[in-house]
């Protein structure tokens, strides 16, 4: 699925839309260059899940855990400073009971999960326009369609 995003507000809205599809045990991998809007999207996901506490860049701390009104914890990871997927495992995340969103994920799924939602944010222009591509991998995402964007 592809979404043309015009500004940060729309990126936030897309996050809320994605959140509607998420459940405990889900893994979302976000990729895109610096300033692409990964944290903005995650903020929208947090909003959609009713996350407690502000969704902020976890670069400094690697992972931030939020309680949510939806139920499962939202674990927001920044893999910017991680060298491999195995280091992700070291963060001791309770994957089955959480919804995990990983920024700078690259291909850090090897051995971690069988299913994941891959989100690529492309920013080719200097302004606020973004092209977001979303693809589901694995049994969990078979046949799941996000409500059509624009």
Partner 1 sequence: MLLAIDTSAGTSVAVLNTNVLAMATFDDPFGHAENVGIAIAEAMTKAGVTASEITAVAIGRGPAPYTGLRVGMAAGLAFAQARGIPTYGVMVLDAVAHSMSTPKLLLHADAKRKEVFVAGYESGVRTFGPAVMQPEELESFAGYEKVQAVCDASMVGLFTLDQLAKGADLNDLSALYLRSPDVSPSPGKRVSG
Partner 2 sequence: MDFRGLTVDDLSSVMELESSVFVSDAWSSESMRSEIESPNNFYLGLFEDGLIGYAGLSTIPGSFSSDIQTIAVSSAARGRGIGRALMQELLRKAKAQGSEQVLLEVRIDNEVAISLYASLGFERIDVRKRYYQPDNVDAVIMRLRITQPLVLGIESTCDETGVGIVRGNRLLANALHSSMDEHSKYGGVVPEVAARAHLEAIAPTLNKALAEAGVQMKDIDAIAVANGPGLAGALMVGIGAAKGLALANDKPIYAVNHLIGHVGADVLERGYVQLPTIALLVSGGHTSLLLVRDLLGDAVLLGETIDDAAGEAFDKVARVLGLPYPGGPQIDKLAATGDPKAIRFPRGLSLPKDMEKHRYDFSFSGLKTAVARYVEKAEADGETINPADVAASFREAVVDVLLTKALNACAEFGVDRLLLGGGVVANARLREVAQQRCEAAGIELRIPRFSLCTDNGAMIASLGAQLVMSGHAPSSLGFGAESTLEVTVVQSP
Q: What secondary structure letter does DSSP report for 131?
A: E
Angle, vertex CA 49, rays to CA 55 and CA 46, nearest 5: 15
| Separation of alpha carbons 60 and 78, rounded Å | 8
Residue with smaller CB distance to partner 2, 58 or 136 = 58
Residue 12's SS3 state is helix
CB of 55 to partner 1, least distance (A): 20
Binding site for partner 2 (CB under 8 A): 34-35, 39, 43, 52-57, 59-67, 81, 90-92
Q: Which lies closer to partner 1 via its Cβ, residue 92 or residue 145? A: 92
Q: How many residues bind partner 1 (CB under 8 A)?
A: 16
Cα angle, residue 48 at apex, residues 42 and 52 outer, rounded to 5°: 80
Q: Which is nearer to partner 2, 90 or 114 (CB)?
A: 90
Cα(79)–Cα(62) distance, integer angstroms = 7
Give the residues lining the site for partner 1 (CB under 8 A): 33-35, 80-84, 86-87, 89-90, 92, 94, 104, 111
């Amino acid at each position: 699925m592809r979404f043309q995003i015009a500004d940060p507000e729309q990126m936030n809205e897309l996050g809320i839309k994605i959140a509607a599809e998420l459940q405990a045990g889900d893994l979302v991998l976000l990729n895109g260059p610096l300033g692409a809007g990964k944290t903005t999207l995650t903020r929208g996901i947090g909003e959609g899940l009713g996350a407690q506490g502000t969704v902020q860049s976890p670069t400094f701390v690697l992972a931030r855990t939020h309680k949510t009104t939806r139920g499962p914890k939202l674990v927001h990871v920044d893999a910017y400073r991680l060298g491999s997927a195995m280091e992700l495992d070291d963060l001791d995340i309770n994957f089955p009971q959480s919804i995990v969103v990983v920024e700078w994920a690259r291909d850090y799924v090897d051995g971690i999960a069988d299913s994941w939602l891959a989100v690529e944010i492309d920013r080719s222009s200097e302004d606020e326009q973004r092209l977001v591509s979303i693809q589901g991998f694995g049994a969990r995402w078979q046949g799941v369609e996000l409500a059509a964007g624009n």
